[in-house]
Homo-oligomer: A and B are copies of this chain.
């Protein structure tokens, strides 16, 4: 993991619609792929092509959604509650929830669609690892290259301000690098050293993706992170979690 990295934004991907061939659009936007490139794609792009979009006009809020909404749109809170396995914290209209995948994040990952207007929300993919795997296979079919894929999203953190992008779905890449028992340059044996490599890759890609520029994907080149991690590897098991 100590070569130079390049992080390359993929420009010119159009506003996405359901059933668009995201893999083909990514390949068209990329300056070629190399084996072991890591493609990072924003969750919102994946969700849009997978039809994970909901029109608030079709939503009837429950009583609990009205309570949690405060002065905000209770239909949005209803959508969040439907996506949530458990509400972890709330301070209307803010809700931190565990999604059905096990991710703990604001609004159970439910986000404004932006381009489609204020009455359209975008949900997380049903199975982000499967989404990443499909993209990986599509790129291999189109280019013959074996790339890793990360489906990323911007998550807030406990105790720290601002979001960082993290990996929800992973294919062909290490998720958590476990150095337990390996020795460092000075011969010292490392303990309890597990690095969330896929989250760091997602964060690195975010630096060139940018929310203002409409760049939904980037390539990280030069990371030696081939592996078979899953997004679920990055979720702290509930019984080991000191913050639940």
- Residue A215, interface by CB 8 Å: yes
> Are the C-beta atoms of B163 and A7 separated by less than 8 Å?
no
In the complex, the count of this chain's copies comes to 2
Q: How far is the CA of A182 from the CA of B212 in the complex (A)?
A: 8
- Quick one: given A161-B236, A163-B195, A235-B161, are A115 and B1 in contact (CB under 8 Å)? no
A203 to chain B, nearest CB (A): 4
Binary flags per residue of A206-229, CB closer than 8 Å to B gives 1, else 0: 111111111100000001010000
> Are the C-beta atoms of B89 and A242 separated by less than 8 Å?
yes
User: Which residues of chain B come closer than 8 Å to A175, judged between CB atoms?
Assistant: 162
Q: How far is the CA of A243 from the CA of B183 in the complex (A)?
A: 35
Q: How far is the CA of A26 from the CA of B41 in the complex (A)?
A: 34
Closest to A105 in B: B159
Q: How far is the CA of A168 from the CA of B185 in the complex (A)?
A: 24
Q: Number of residues in A with C-beta < 8 Å to the partner?
A: 72
> Are the C-beta atoms of A5 and B3 separated by less than 8 Å?
no
> Are the C-beta atoms of A208 and B162 separated by less than 8 Å?
no
A45-53, A76-84, A136-144, A186-194 - interface stretch: A186-194
- Residue A129, interface by CB 8 Å: no
- Residue A160, interface by CB 8 Å: yes
User: Which residues of chain B come closer than 8 Å to A210, judged between CB atoms?
Assistant: 1-2
Give the B-binding residues of A (Cβ under 8 A).
1-9, 11, 15, 89, 91, 94, 96, 103-104, 112, 114-115, 154, 157-166, 175-177, 179, 182-186, 188, 190, 193-197, 199-201, 203-204, 206-215, 223, 225, 233-236, 241-244
